[in-house]
Structure 1
Amino acid sequence: MMNLKRMVPLAMAMTLALAVTACGKKADSKEAGDGANAGKEKAVVYRTLDEIKESGTINIGVFSDKNPFGYVDENGDYQGYDVYFANRLGEDLGVKINYVSTEAANRIEYLETGKVDVILANFTVTKERAEKVDFALPYMNVALGVVSPESKVIESLDNWNPKDEMIVISGTTAEPFLIENYPNIPLQKYDSYATAKNAMENGNGVAWANDNTEVIAFALQNKGYTVGIPSLGSQDTIAPAVSKGNETLLNWINEEIKSLGNEKFFHANYEATLVDTYGLEFEDSLVVEGGQVQ
């Protein structure tokens, strides 16, 4: 009996120990599993081409306040150069389009988190951005430009008055370019095109640096302003972007851009959406057909 009494507590202790050990392994396994899943969820946030087709809808990120590239009209409809292109993508893919309003600073985030399938928001191709997203073939040329009031036209960034501030939009190429090349120029940063535009109109900065297409449009649409620096830095291109690794969608868009080039689609797009702003003078210099930069 003494041996039996001793064995029962011993057996219970061993059982408890095994249970604790088992629970510990299960917890470790769950944590490892969660970690692995979390890693996969973070890496695989995009929808493939087939998944988009199956859903019947594609989510495209565009600007809602950058006339004439992406904006919402008086009827609540998205319009502009990027939207004209997006409409054709949806048509040829055979799906409906869910437009998602985006700001410059969250274009990459929206792709990384799967909020959108494609970004068509005046997105300039840069090496740094290409490390986080995949760019398709380009459909437009672009450089930086600087707009300022006609009463004090800024024609050079040399010998800058350190008391004067330059307006920029966070997340645009103007911001890092000025920080790297003109560190003496104090920047006044805004999150959206609309707030930067208001700041310029309210005299909060002496000038505004942005894509030259946008500052030219601003000067043409708003009296009292001129683009004293029409081209600043390198010549770049604008292209659609998809989540990193989404090869099926990327390949389809590239083939679509090549095909559209055969019908001079982007020249037709320009003449439908940009000619009222820029006239025909800038058409051939801005438009890129079939992904082929001249």
Structure 2
Amino acid sequence: MTRSLTNRRFATGAIAALSLGAALTAFAPFAAAQSVADLKKKGEITIGMLVDFPPYGTTNAQNQPDGYDADVAKLLGKDWGIKVNIVPVTGPNRIPFLLTNKVDLLVASLAITPERAKQVNFSHPYAAATIVLYGKTATTIKSAADLKPLRVGVARASTQDIAVTKAAPEGTEIRRFDDDASAMQALLSGQVDAIGCSVTVAAQIAKRAPANTYENKFTLVQQAMGIAVRPGQDDVLKSVNEFVAKNTANGELNKLYQKWLGADLPKLN
């Protein structure tokens, strides 16, 4: 065998090994199953949360994460006896943050949908959101059929995006914004005629606008929300479900829901 042929084979083998290594690295986030014991040993947990979805997720006067989701995350840390680090996420990046190990789990107003369940594992529901079509009182919108000539805004990759896209007739102009705050501003400034949003976002708009300027047109969906865990994290999911069951039964989640939404926690399955 010549030296050049040997060198070529060595190089080919090296390239193949590097390619295999790159492939393994790409799937590295799922290589080892994390457990609650691992988190307790580390002494902390990193939780992703929306901060633009009041009252579920917002910021306080000190610009720190606050709201129902923040209180649920802190209650989870208290139950597990570990420090909680809350990382702000957006609607579009929250699942990627989880899947790439930037956060350990999501308490991020994430509605449980079949498509999302293909990417993450959901806990039992810990909250719910009613999504409505919200627009100017003077604009006649009785059902989804009336949307076609209108401009409808939604937060990109959100539950309301999915709901509006499903309900709107073909040809409806759907404008997608980075978050609920941007969609809200688009409605207030007249860039869109209506938006798909939660009833809590609608309440925020009503506070900022003159009385009777806007109204709920119709309900798009009531969606249960779950805490999201990476696939393969069975021990973490089991413990999160135990946390949800315990704090639903003892009324702690209802207290937090009353605090932030002024209503009882809906009956969730």
TM-score of the aligned structures, taking structure 1 as reference length: 0.81
Tell me which of 228, 236, 239 is aligned to 1:249.
236
| Conservation of the 8 A alpha-carbon contact between 2:154 and 2:176 | yes
Q: How does 1:215-234 map to 2 (within 5 A)?
A: 215=202, 217-224=203-210, 225-233=213-221
CA distance in 1, matches of 2:20, 2:205: 56
Instruction: Tell me the percent identity.
Output: 23
Amino acid at match of 1:175: D
Displacement after TM superposition at 1:287 (Å): 2.9
- Could you tell me which residue of structure 2 aligns to residue 29 of structure 1? 17
**Offset at residue 231 of structure 1 (A):** 1.7
For residues 229-248 of structure 1, the C-alpha deviation after alignment (integer angstroms, 9 at most, x for no partner) is 35224x32111111122111
Query: Equivalences for 1:76-115 in 2 at 5 Å?
Result: 76-115=63-102
Q: CA offset at residue 257 of structure 1?
A: 0.7
- What residue number does 1:8 align with? none
Q: Which among 269, 287, 293 is matched to residue 266 of structure 2?
A: 287
Inter-CA distance 122–230: structure 2 relative to 1 (3 Å threshold): farther
Output the amino acid matched with 1:232: L
Q: 1:259 Cα deviation (Å)?
A: 0.9
RMSD: 2.3
The one-letter code of the counterpart of 1:221 is K
Q: CA deviation at 1:251?
A: 0.8
Say whether residues 1:192 and 2:179 are aligned partners. yes
Partners of 1:46 and 1:243 within 8 A in 2: no
CA distance in 2, matches of 1:43, 1:243: 8
1: CA distance, partners of 2:39 / 2:190: 45
Aligned length: 266
89-98 or 251-260, which deviates more: 89-98
More off after superposition, 135-144 vs 148-157: 148-157
* 2:126 matches 1:136: no
Letter in structure 2 aligned against 1:81: Y
Deviation string 1:202-246 (CA, Å, 9 cap, x unpaired) is 11111111233433x32443333443235224x321111111221
- Of Structure 1 and Structure 2, the greater helix share is in 1
- The answer to whether structure 1 residue 214 and structure 2 residue 201 are counterparts is yes
| Unaligned ranges ≥5, structure 1 | 1-12, 276-282
Counterpart Cα distance in 2 of 1:65 and 1:253: 24
Give, in angstroms, the shift of residue 178 of structure 1.
2.5
Residue in 2 that maps onto 1:18: 6
In 2, are the aligned partners of 1:61 and 1:100 still within 8 Å (CA)?
yes
Structure 2 CA distance for partners of 1:17 and 1:70, relative to 1, 3 Å: same
Aligned to 2:153: 167
Equivalent in the alignment of 1:263? 250
* Residue range with higher mean Cα deviation, 40-49 or 238-247: 40-49
Q: Which runs of 5+ in 2 are unaligned?
A: none
What secondary structure sits across from 1:125 in the alignment? Answer: coil
In structure 2, do the counterparts of structure 1 residues 271 and 160 end up closer, same or farther at CA, with 3 Å as the change threshold?
closer
Deviations 1:48-96 (A, max 9, x none): 3233222222111111122211111112222111111111011111221
Rounded Cα–Cα distance in structure 2 between residues aligned with 1:33 and 1:75:
44
**Mean CA deviation greater in 42-51 or 174-183:** 42-51
Structure 2 counterpart of 1:209, which letter? G
- Indicate the structure (1 or 2) with the bigger Cα radius of gyration: 1
Query: How far 1:46 sits from its partner (Å)?
Result: 7.0
